[in-house]
Chains A and B, each alone.
Chain A
Amino acid sequence: MSERVAIVGVGITEHKSKWPGRSQVEIVNEAVQLALEDSQLNMKDIDATIIGNMELFEGIYNVDMWMTEGDGAYLKSGMKINTGGTVGASTFFTAVEHAGSGLFNAVLAVGWEKQDEGSSAYSLRTVHENPFLTVVAPSRAGVGIVFNKWAQDMLARKSVTEEQIAKLRVQASENASKNPKAHLRNILTVEDVMNSPFLVAPTVRYLHICPTSIGAVALIIAPEERAKKITNKPVWVVDHVSSHCGVDSMYITAPAGGGMAGPTFWWPSVDSIRKLYKRNGITNPCKQIDIFEFYDPCAWVLAEGFEIMGLCEKNQAGRLIDSGKTRIDGQIPINPSGGVLCTNAIGDSAMMRPAQVALQLRGDAGDYQVHKKVSRGVAHGLGGDFATACLLQNYL
């Protein structure tokens, strides 16, 4: 970046499955107010607002227009971004680029979803649907079909067992129970997970999959000089990378996840993490990175994430789970917030990752603050055949 930028404010609303008392405008407004409070800024100090949301889930075309009633965008710059599951990250990156352009003093990024306002399952399946090529039963299972391929592959190469996956899910539930903003906060047992019914046989069970949540996240990003004035705990956005797979027809291969690139759906994660490490001289992530927030829509994906992020050798994800190193009190804490597995308002899920890393790097995560001292973290985002990764630090 020609100009270094930092996260100077974080606003996260509660997350839940139904929220009839609030309109989208009010939920977005709450996240923005929380971020302003956190940074002790006034809306007047903000000069651009970047919006991220999956508009077909709530059905508002050009939803940034209506959102001006709650996000403070009146007479300010801004635009709306949508890149699918990664929309929160893309929105955050867009805000980072705005702040780094030298044209703005403080930029607000907001991501949200209110999934009780429409049939997100129906909308979601249009991603893969081509009327000429659709043979599979359209299903609420949606991307669960993708995870099945992922899981079958991991089982085949003996990276994890189903029991280890269940342990990982239990760990996520324990983390989420400490996070007051998380959606699913009840602590699960291995039996709960292993006995939950199949969503997609033969591998993916209901408790392997993230919930559909309602909530919003707002971040305020400022260029260096400004950031230092705003806060004494800026979290620097050192680098960001994103990558598409982009080689297969989404229609035919997507339902099963994996075509020409082999594993279509993790190639972009591998590619973006690899590039991020390379650009920033990271050769030993376990030592050089203190905390990870991985976008884990499914427990199988999180296990794969351990390998993708280079936290264990290939096919050793299960052993890493068993070692307990990835727990809040472990040496390489992963998703201390509970991750997407416990909180998934799609439009904010990928923005929640850097937001949670920022809270950890500031030491402001409260009950789910990791035990070790942390100064550098990686936040990952995933959606369809696209993935994002960014590197955050609490020092320059």
Chain B
Amino acid sequence: MEKEFLAVRSEVRLPFKQSAGQYLTKFLMELRNNTRIIGNKCPKCGRINLPPNIVCGWCKIRVEDKPENWVELSDKGTVVTFLEITERDTDPLTGKLLGRINPGAQILLDGTEAGRCTPLYHILEETDIKKIYIGMRVQAVWRPREERVGDLNDILYFRTSSDK
């Protein structure tokens, strides 16, 4: 007789409250209230944290809450990397498909330099991956004020733009 192997199935539903903390909350409030993307700049090396963070990972020092350390970044930029995930994940408990399917891209916002500012990761309006290329110019499309809740989805997506 074939030996029978048993298993115990369990479902874990762990409630979890994640705090955005001070620096990220400020970033999210700017998104929601003013459609502005802000970062903070290390007073020592000048690199920009996006989203803003309490520490500069390079210099290992605190980036203080001083007006000169806050920078407003453009909502236009250039595609650095792009991708299309061909298989979406499902919710492990319900089996429902998750997430949006648009191609994603890492976008270096205007006025920042590669290696000096974290690129922003977002999805693109363009769904045909063959039309996307590195160096492509894009611009944020914001949700209307009443739909903005203070998360990165307050930007609907980045639209291909013709300006250089």
Contacts and interface: CB of A to CB of B under 8 A. Distances in A.
A and B touch in the complex (CB under 8 A): yes
Interface of A: 20-21, 59, 119, 121-122, 125, 130-141, 144-145, 148-149, 152, 156, 197-202, 246-249, 251-253, 255-262
Contact of A262 (B18, B51, B115): B115
A121 B18 CA distance: 21
A197 B105 CA distance: 21
B12 interface: yes
Interface in B76-96: 80-81, 83-89, 92
B121 interface: yes
Contacts of B50: 249, 252
Interface of B: 3, 5, 7, 10, 12, 18, 20, 24, 28, 47, 49-51, 53, 57-58, 80-81, 83-89, 92, 98-101, 104-106, 114-123, 129, 134, 150-153, 155
30 contacts: A131-B151, A132-B24, A132-B150, A132-B151, A135-B152, A135-B153, A136-B104, A136-B123, A137-B100, A138-B99, A139-B85, A139-B87, A139-B88, A139-B89, A139-B99, A141-B87, A149-B81, A149-B83, A197-B86, A199-B86, A200-B86, A248-B118, A256-B80, A256-B81, A256-B106, A256-B121, A258-B81, A260-B58, A260-B117, A262-B115
Contact of A202 (B51, B104, B116, B129): B129
A134 B122 CA distance: 9
B83 A138 contact: no
A201 B103 CA distance: 9
Contact of B99 (A20, A136, A152, A201): A136
Contacts of A141: 85-87
A136 B121 contact: yes
Contacts of A200: 83-86
Contacts of B105: 256
**Consensus secondary structure, chain A interface:** loop
A197 to B, nearest CB: 7
B28 to A, nearest CB: 6
A107 B100 CA distance: 48
A132 B106 contact: no
B84 A252 contact: no
Contacts of B115: 260-262
B106 A140 contact: no
Contacts, number: 140
Given A132-B20, A138-B99, A140-B89, A258 B134 contact: no
Contacts of B51: 133, 249, 251-252
A255 B87 contact: no
A322 to B, nearest CB: 26
Given A136-B99, A258-B81, A156 B92 contact: no
A158 to B, nearest CB: 14
B5 A137 contact: no
Which of B80, B83, B87, B120 neighbours the largest number of chain A CB atoms within 10 Å of its CB?
B83
B47 A135 contact: no
Contacts of B119: 253, 256, 258-259
Contacts of A21: 3, 5
A314 to B, nearest CB: 18
Nearest to A116: B7
A249 B53 contact: yes
B90 to A, nearest CB: 8
A148 to B, nearest CB: 4
B88 A260 contact: no
B57 A246 contact: yes
Contact of A137 (B10, B81, B101, B152): B101
Given A130-B18, A149-B83, A260-B47, 10 more contacts: A132-B28, A135-B155, A202-B84, A247-B47, A248-B118, A252-B50, A252-B118, A253-B121, A255-B104, A256-B121
A137 B99 contact: yes
Nearest to A261: B115
